[in-house]
Structures are given as structure tokens and as C-alpha cells.
Structure 1
Amino acid sequence: MYLGIDLGTSGLRALLTDDTGRPVASAEAQYDVQTPHPGWSEQDPGTWITALDQAMAQLQGSPGYSDIRGIAVAGHMHGAVLLDSGDQVLRPCILWNDTRSAAEAAELDATAQVRDLSGNIVFPGFTAPKLLWVQRHEPEIFARTAKVLLPAAYLNLHLTGRHVADMSDSAGTSWLDVGARYWSDHLLEAGQMRRDQMPDLVEGCAAAGRLRPELASRWGLTGPVTIAGGAGDNAAAACGTGVMTAGQGFVSLGTSGVVLTARDGFHPDPATAVHTFCHAIPERWYQMGVMLSATDCLNWLGRITGRSPADLTAGLGDQLRPPGEVTFMPYLSGERTPHNSANLRGGFDGLSIATTAEDLARAVMEGVSYGLRDCLEALRKTGAQLDSCLVIGGGSKSAYWVKLLATILNLPLQFPKDGEFGAALGAARLARLAVTGEDPAEVLTAPERAMTVPPDPQLRASYEAGYAAFRKRGAKLTLR
């Protein structure tokens, strides 16, 4: 049996699979994010440990549970867990969506060779600028920092007693030479860090250590358990959906939005604001365009109107409509691809006294879809080719939104059949590879397709015009 752990921003999910990869049982535990100041987003790493114990308690008694032989963690990327010399947490983890270090990110990004070696713009959400912020604003804590771990690596420490991280997660720090797949002394020096403050590196499908005996005993596991390197959450999702080679990809309508494709080589183009990261298997990379607020935009609208997202969109039905008169720019938390701006802000245009809550919801869905089209166009500038994509994430439950997105992207979107195919499954697959040494191509397979949603040929031209107008508005906002 193999266990995949998806350490998310708002909760942890554990998925138990058998030796054929079939899901057997799952468990979840939730926790909160703290926002003590505008632009700040923090979390107590201790809540992850508590959530993991809760999930394991739920799984006990599942068929084959005691025979778990491998565990892997997929974690939300870019977070900064600061530890002292005794591995005690010094402050709350600064999360991926925290934008306090925008000034430090800009300074690092302008430093010679930083983009060349890291393969990316230094975004405010990345890990390196967070540590520069701590150095300047919390110098006592910075001076006591012996190790900096990403969230998944912190769980690896809990599981194994070792400081170890995988390549895909570490690629989002701005300390890793992403092409060479090792810590860069130049990048570390630019970020005022040292090599000894970094964890050891392994591939995501390789063994990172063994489960500590006290945890095995507490959880009722009988044999030796290998802990795999694991992965960043999007790399793990790629493993769960079988996105391994060039031309394969997925679009995720989740809290944030992602258009991701695998690459057979290292093809960075930082100027596009596309992320270029190591994959969770050797000699592979992936690229993705990222928008910070996707379904979260609809959640926000639901909060301020007092209505659920499902209620707001229920009246749209399943038949795609032409673009609405109200437009929406989805920059509630700034934006990554293609604008790279922590200060960019969203808004509605075209409001009138006749505007309804449904009109606002429709505008939000269109604006998010246009933002994902921005991500797709940025990927294409790097040379990536996508002829079709899987569609995943909570927003994909809306048939209207998927038809809208397929038409705006001008790509057929494929639904996986019901079942597991996300980050937790990808992590369980990595755990299996670390134990068995199988060929990744035999294990990291694509899910069976349930259906394909094509672009609407009758509305393609009107949505293409809508996207052109969206791009012009976005360019004006960026210039402010």
C-alpha cells in the first residue's frame, strides 16, 4: 500500500492506494490561514502535523492500511518555514500568496544572473525574497535561522528526521539552479543565504528516508516505510494526471488558476512571467502560467453578496451565451502571469442600475477565463505546444464555465472520468516509485477521459474580440 499526502493551503488530504494504484481510502483535515496585515498570509506549521495525525487516525482500519510501504508529500509551494539549530519553528510559515516581500523580489530579480540561473522571474510569493524581508524586518529571527524548509520538506522532516526536499518544490525558491537541478551558490549569495541552511535534494520519485519508528508505532504501521522526495503541488498534480511529456497539459480551475504543460527539456523564458520548474521525475521539467485568483474570485463575490457560488451561477444554465456587457479584471491579489505585479488590482466595468448578481458572476467567470488565456499565450511564447488539455479543479464542476473556458482558450478540454487524478494520487504514485523503482512511464499514466468539451464555433469570434479588449485593459492597468 502507498500513501499520498496533499498538503494544501486550507487543508490536508491523505489518499491510500494499493499496489496497482487503485485508491482504497482517503481522509481530510482542515486548518486556517492567518492574515495579520494586508498582503500577509501565514500558517502555523504545527497545524499540519495535527492534521496529518487526524488523517492517519481516520485511515486506520482501512483495508491494507497497516501494510503501507511508501509515503510521499505534495505541498503548496514557496512557503518559508524557518527553523533554529534544534529544528524548532521560529515564526509562522510565510505562504505562497503572501506579497509583503515585493520590494525584495524586485531587487533580487534585477540582480545579475538570477533569472538566468533560476529560470524565472523572482515573484514576491517565492521563498528567497521572503528571507530577505525577514532579514530586514525580523533580524533576530533571521540570525537564529539554521534551516529554511518548504512546507512539504517540513513534513518530510517530521516523517524522517532529515532535512530533505525534492527538485520540483525547490525550483520555486529562487535559490535552485533549475537547469542543473542543484542549489546555486550564486543565487544563495544573492539572497543572503548559505548552502548549509538548505535541505538535501532528491528527485521526487527517489527515497528521502525511512519513517521514524515512533510514528510507525503510533500509526500502527507494521513494516519499514520509505518516504519519497515528494513534489510541489502542481508537479504532483501532473503526476496524477499523467502529464509527463511535451504536448501534454492541464488547466486547473482552482482557488488559483493554472495552465501547465510538461517539457522534455529546460526552456526558460522569464520575460513571459511563465514558471519553469523541475518535474518530480529526473530529466524532466514543466512550465505553467499562474493566476493568483481563479475560483477565489467567485468565492469573493459570494461573500460580498451573501450567496453561494452555485446559487450565483445557477441561472446561467448549460448553454453558452455571448460575452456579457459587464467585464471583470480578476486581479484581487495582484497577478503573476503575465503581469508580475503584486499591486495590480481588479474591478468591474460596464455596471449599470440594471446589473444583477448573475451578471456579476458571469463577468467573473469570463474574466478568470480570459486570465487563463493570458497564461496559455505566455506558454506559447516559450515554444510550448498544447492541442488539448485536461480540465481539473473545483470550477470544472460548472458545465457552463468549462464550455466558456474551452471557447476562450480555443482548445478542446477533456474531463477525466470520476475518480482520483490530482496531487494526492500523484504523491502516492511517487511513493510507489520510490519503493519499487519502476519505470515512471508505466506508473504515471493519464486517467481515462469521460468526455471532451470543444470550443463553441458560433461564439469563438465574439470571445476572441472580448479577449483582445481584456488584454488592452490589462496592459493599461499594468502601466499605472
Structure 2
Amino acid sequence: MTTQTHGSVRRDPATPPAYLGIELGSTRIKACLAGADHQPVAVGSHDWSSRLVDGRWTYVLDELWDGMRAAVADLRGALAAQGAPGLESVRALGVSAMMHGYLAFDEHDELLVPFRTWRNTSTGVAAAELSELLGRNIPLRWSVAHLYQAVLDGEPHVAQVRSVTTLAGYVHRQLTGRGVLGVGDASGMFPIDSRTHDYDHDALARTDELLAAHGFGRKLRDLLPAVQVAGAPAGTLHAAGAALMDPSGSLPAGIPLCPPEGDAGTGMTATCAVAPRTGNVSVGTSIFAMLVLDREPETAHPEVDIVTTPAGDPVAMVHCNNGAAELENWVAVFREFGVAAGCSADADTAFGVLLRAALDGAPDAGGILAYHYLSGEPVVGLDDGRPLLTRADAGSLTFANLARSLVYGVFGALSLGMQVLLRDGVVIDTVVAHGGLFRTEGVAQRLLAAALGVPVGVRAGASEGGAWGIALLAAYLDAAVDRSLTEFLDCEVFATSELEVVTPDPADVRGYSQFLERYSAGLTVERTAVDALDRAVAVSERQVQA
């Protein structure tokens, strides 16, 4: 049988091609294999979590590699169980991860300080100064805000910084040796000029002057990864990278990689929301909405980032640090109660019970307010957060009302941020939602439609999210066709895919509006809880020391 060469990998033409996507999410590392029809064949996963160390949210990078190997091994097992071809059929692959944050390296490519994730809110001074200087919103979590804050704080490591990248960029560099980044992920490090699909030249010059005024002598262009759009070749898997991912040897060296992307860009890809006036909402540990624009807005808002699609088109992003993580904690408590009562349930079953109960709750959740702020929430002006549950009427405390409030609480900050865009005249036809919360059919989708006041669609495979999205970007690289990413997705991936759309129910909309009015007013209680509990902890620590 003859073989053909793709890159430096020899392929059997009788074996259908497959595309591997790896995503490093907030709570799970996933490996998704898409087949020749671009649909998911199998998924492997491994749980991991961030840690609060010395006041900063971080992940241990050694756990990253252990988790990636575990996810790939889980995927291999799932393929074997199906009798499907293994990873030897992979034609191209890609890496996606949480956007933003700060990974700084020295001249020997050694990490200088522990990874500072998007969840950290310690960059307020830097973000405010940069936003004023550049005339656009530079959020707390952007990489340039982290770098400038480190400069302002006189951190010793700053003098040794020779490169800064994101989590996806770091992994890609370890796999290929190339310091590149997809434009969507790069747009969460530093502003992008949507005309050139590269870092904004004027903004670079202004920021370099600001950094130099504080004694930082290096140019940002020399520190940041090179920017590439979707479809551009971004290197090949080298032998050491293949061993890092899969010690079994199933993945040969030489496989081409697409540009590494952030979870926002892969979410847009997985929901076919990369064309103007399309949008998507991703629900996970964080929650964010991405609305593709036909032009960059003239007015900057602190609640709205301007980032890009993987093809480089401008996107309005409302990003909230706190999504469904606290809801998961509540489900864990209910499961513990079930075990104590002799009726245990797995997580999916427990989620299904809670979500379906939410539909039986009062449209306004009976006056119950749930704040899911495990960390600070810049969209509502909180530097720190405390999960909080309160209610106005003792008679309203039913399981159904509590369930609805817990789901509404996932969407609260996002709704407030989205109202800013709607007041600016941004038109939203439909948003497509994805994330594990939508595995229970119709519930979170219906309540999200009420929260946003627009139709919400969900596609099959919505829970696979960014791991499938980056696999699709790898397939787009392999296709090597002269057409846009939008055309590729419309014609090759989603041509026969049905979008299940739910329109807002008027009663739900009225009820959610009442909930959100109380929710907004109740933020004063949330701020008081943060201050009061901080004081209580400080007093307790002094007593212990005494």
C-alpha cells in the first residue's frame, strides 16, 4: 500500500484524517478528537484547579503536563472502547487555554514567577493608567496590565523578563519551539489593530514610553509572541513535545499545529459565531459573551473588552470572573445531603434535578438573591468577592425558588455588562451558548434567554466547547483552502447542524428584570460582606498571634 507525506509525517491514505484539540480550561483539561466530518469522535479529560497562593490565583505548571497526559490517555481509552482509529490518524492539532494572565520568562526560558491567571484583580492601578493612556479599556486580567503592575510595584523579577505569553502560548512553545500566538488570544494580551491583525503600532509606542519612564528598558514587541491568524502554519510537533503530550508514542513528531488560541476564540469557533452580528456565551468557571462587530466602537467602557475572532475581526467581550463554579459547589452540597439521606446521585443527575426544579420557581426567584463571587468581579466594581445568599421574604424559601436564584446568579454580572452594549446600540440577532451547564436540555438556555432578552441557541456538542473549537481550527489549517474561516465553518462543519433556538419567555423576562433590579441594589450587601469578613479575619489573626 502506498503512503503520502504530510509535513514530515507519512500517512496511510486509507486512514481517514482526524484533528486533535487540547484545551486547558479553568477546571478541566480536555482532549477532543474530531473526525474527517469535523464532528467529535471522542473526548478525554482530567480535572485540575487553581490555587490561591500568597494572595494570587495560580496553577502549578507541572500539574498541567500531568493533566494533559492524563487527558490524552483518557482519549486513547475512549477511542479504543469505540474501536475507532487511534491518534496515529491525527493530521493536525492545536492548543487552546484560558486567555489573559501573566507568564513571564527569563533568557533561559525559565518561569520567573508563578503563573498569574485571569482571575487576579491586583492590577487596578496599572489597568486604569493604561486605559487612560490608550483611550480604550485595558482590563485587569490583560497581560500588559500584569506586566506594568509588576513594574509599578518594583518586583525584582522584572529586570529579567525576556518574554511574556499566555497559557496556550506557553504550551505551544513547549510542543513546537515557536513563540507564536493566535490573534484572538493575543488580543487579550495587548490591543490589536483589526486592519493589520497585529499589535497596535501606536499603542505599542505609547506603552513603551510609559514603561521606560518607570525604568523598564525593553520593548514590548520583543517580549510578546508573534501574532498569527487562523489558517496560518504555526510550527510542527517536535519529538520532545510529542513525548510531553503522550509518552505512549501514539502521536508522532512532525504533526502541524495551528496557532494557539484562547478559550474565547475557540468558543466562537465551536458555536459558528465568527461573522459580524453573531455572538456566543461561554459558561464555565468564568462566564463571558462575545459579540462580533462590523467595526470597532468609538466609546470605551470598563465593562467591555475589545478583542478579536481567530481571524482577527473585532469582538466586544463582556467577561465576568465568576460563572458557574459556585453553582457546582451548591450541587456538591446537595449531593452530600443525598448521600446522608441514602439516595446518592452523580453530578450530572444532581445538576439535572436542580436545573429542572429552577423552571418551577417563581419568575423572579421569589426574592432570593445568589451572588457567586468567589473572587473579585471587575464588571460590577468588586476587587474581591464572597459568595452570598440572601432573601427578602421568609415564605419564598422553596427548593424551586432557590434553584432558580442559583441559576440566575450565574448570569447576573453578565447581564449588567451586556446592558452597556445594548445601550450603545449593538445589535444581537441570536447568541449561541456552550458549556456543560447546557447538557440539561432547555433549562439554562431558557433562563439565559430571559437574562439577555435575546434568542439563545444551543448546538449538539455544546458541552465540548473549546477543545472541539481548537480541533476545528486545526482542521481549517489542514484544509489549506482559499476561503474565510466563516465560509469554512458554514460550508464544511455546520452546513447540516441544527441550532435549537429558544426565544425569551415574556414572563421569564419580567421576572428576571425584577431579580436583576434587586441583584444590582444588593451589591451593596456584597461589598459590605467583603469588608466585614476581611475585618473579622484580620481580628482573628491578631488574636491568634497574641
- Cα distance between partner residues in 1 of 2:331 and 2:50: 19
Which of 307, 314, 317 in structure 2 is aligned with 1:285? Answer: 314
CA contact under 8 A between 1:320 and 1:403: conserved in structure 2? no
Which of 180, 195, 205 in structure 2 is aligned with 1:185? Answer: 205
- Tell me which residue corresponds to 2:456: 413
What secondary structure is seen at the aligned counterpart in 2 of 1:210? coil
Q: Which amino acid aligns with 2:451?
A: I
- Tell me which residue corresponds to 2:408: 366
Q: 1:368 to 1:138 in 2, by over 3 A?
A: same
Which of 142, 146, 149 in structure 2 is aligned with 1:130? Answer: 146
- Tell me which residue corresponds to 2:516: 467
What secondary structure is seen at the aligned counterpart in 1 of 2:51? coil
2:467 corresponds to 1:391: no
2:253 corresponds to 1:237: no
Q: 1:320 to 1:174 in 2, by over 3 A?
A: same
The 5-angstrom pairing of residues 186-335 of structure 1 reads 186-191=206-211, 192=216, 194=219, 195-216=221-242, 219-222=249-252, 224-267=254-297, 269-271=299-301, 273-282=303-312, 284-302=313-331, 310=351, 313=354, 316=357, 318-319=359-360, 321-323=362-364, 324-335=366-377
Which of 36, 56, 63 in structure 1 is aligned with 2:72? Answer: 56
Shift of 1:289: 1.4
Q: Deviations over 1:160-198 (max 9, x none)?
A: 111111211111123655664333232344354522222
Moved over 6 A (4+): 475-480
Q: Deviations over 1:380-434 (max 9, x none)?
A: 2444211222222222245444333222322222221247762112111111222
- Cα distance between partner residues in 1 of 2:70 and 2:508: 48
- Tell me which residue corresponds to 1:87: 109
How many pairs were matched up? 471
Which of 160, 178, 181 in structure 1 is aligned with 2:176? Answer: 160
- Cα distance between partner residues in 2 of 1:310 and 1:67: 36
Shift of 1:59: 4.2
Q: Which amino acid aligns with 1:205?
A: G
CA contact under 8 A between 2:327 and 2:410: conserved in structure 1? no
Q: 1:419 to 1:235 in 2, by over 3 A?
A: closer
CA contact under 8 A between 2:433 and 2:456: conserved in structure 1? yes
CA contact under 8 A between 2:184 and 2:262: conserved in structure 1? yes
CA contact under 8 A between 1:71 and 1:227: conserved in structure 2? yes
- Cα distance between partner residues in 2 of 1:285 and 1:311: 36
Shift of 1:450: 5.7
- Tell me which residue corresponds to 1:69: 91
CA contact under 8 A between 2:270 and 2:468: conserved in structure 1? yes
- Tell me which residue corresponds to 2:41: 24
Which of 416, 421, 443 in structure 1 is aligned with 2:488? Answer: 443
Q: Which amino acid aligns with 1:157?
A: R
Identify unmatched segments of 5+ residues in structure 2. 1-17, 338-346, 532-546
Q: Which amino acid aligns with 1:295?
A: A
- When structure 1 is superposed on structure 2, of 227-236 and 380-389 the one drifting more is 380-389
- Cα distance between partner residues in 2 of 1:292 and 1:48: 21
Q: 1:460 to 1:361 in 2, by over 3 A?
A: closer
Q: Deviations over 1:271-315 (max 9, x none)?
A: 252121121014x22222122212123234456776576388267
2:474 corresponds to 1:431: yes
- Cα distance between partner residues in 1 of 2:419 and 2:274: 21
What secondary structure is seen at the aligned counterpart in 2 of 1:226? coil
CA contact under 8 A between 1:70 and 1:227: conserved in structure 2? yes
Shift of 1:68: 1.9
2:130 corresponds to 1:104: no
Q: Which amino acid aligns with 1:443?
A: F
- Tell me which residue corresponds to 2:186: 170
CA contact under 8 A between 1:277 and 1:285: conserved in structure 2? yes
Q: 1:8 to 1:268 in 2, by over 3 A?
A: farther
CA contact under 8 A between 1:288 and 1:375: conserved in structure 2? no
- Cα distance between partner residues in 1 of 2:273 and 2:129: 34
- Tell me which residue corresponds to 2:540: none
Q: 1:419 to 1:410 in 2, by over 3 A?
A: closer
- Tell me which residue corresponds to 1:402: 445
Q: 1:53 to 1:408 in 2, by over 3 A?
A: closer
What secondary structure is seen at the aligned counterpart in 2 of 1:271? coil
CA contact under 8 A between 1:168 and 1:278: conserved in structure 2? yes
What secondary structure is seen at the aligned counterpart in 2 of 1:207? coil
CA contact under 8 A between 1:10 and 1:32: conserved in structure 2? yes
- Cα distance between partner residues in 2 of 1:369 and 1:297: 12
CA contact under 8 A between 2:291 and 2:316: conserved in structure 1? yes
- Cα distance between partner residues in 2 of 1:143 and 1:133: 14
Shift of 1:108: 2.8
- Cα distance between partner residues in 1 of 2:324 and 2:333: 15
What secondary structure is seen at the aligned counterpart in 2 of 1:93? coil
- When structure 1 is superposed on structure 2, of 396-405 and 67-76 the one drifting more is 396-405
- When structure 1 is superposed on structure 2, of 146-155 and 20-29 the one drifting more is 20-29
- Cα distance between partner residues in 2 of 1:258 and 1:133: 24
- Cα distance between partner residues in 1 of 2:224 and 2:355: 49
Which of 478, 494, 502 in structure 2 is aligned with 1:453? Answer: 502
CA contact under 8 A between 1:78 and 1:127: conserved in structure 2? yes
Q: 1:209 to 1:401 in 2, by over 3 A?
A: closer
CA contact under 8 A between 2:175 and 2:240: conserved in structure 1? no
% identical aligned pairs: 22
2:19 corresponds to 1:5: no
What secondary structure is seen at the aligned counterpart in 1 of 2:378? coil
